[in-house]
Amino acid sequence: MATEVRWDDAEDIALVLVEKFPDVNPLEVRFTDLHMWVTQLPIFVDDPSQSNESKLEAIQMAWYEEWKDRQP
């Protein structure tokens, strides 16, 4: 697992989020909450103001794929 993540590291961020929030359906998370959760990760080292809708969507979709794979 990555030791540092930036906005463009959607797959690595997704792996952290699926571990931290295993019961949360990523498609039900608002981008404002997703932004907050990502920037609060201890391994997040990017500028919080550099996010945008496409970066958040990439993270959400990567997280969703990881989450979906773990559903019974």
Reply yes or no on domain 10-69 having CATH 1.10.10.600.
yes
- Residue ranges per domain, the chain? 10-69
The answer to whether residue 9 scores a pLDDT higher than 80 is yes
Instruction: Read off the pTM.
Output: 0.94
Q: Please write the tens of the pLDDT for every residue from 25-70.
A: 999 999 999 999 999 999 999 999 999 999 999 999 999 999 999 9
**Tokens, residue 55:** 């970066």
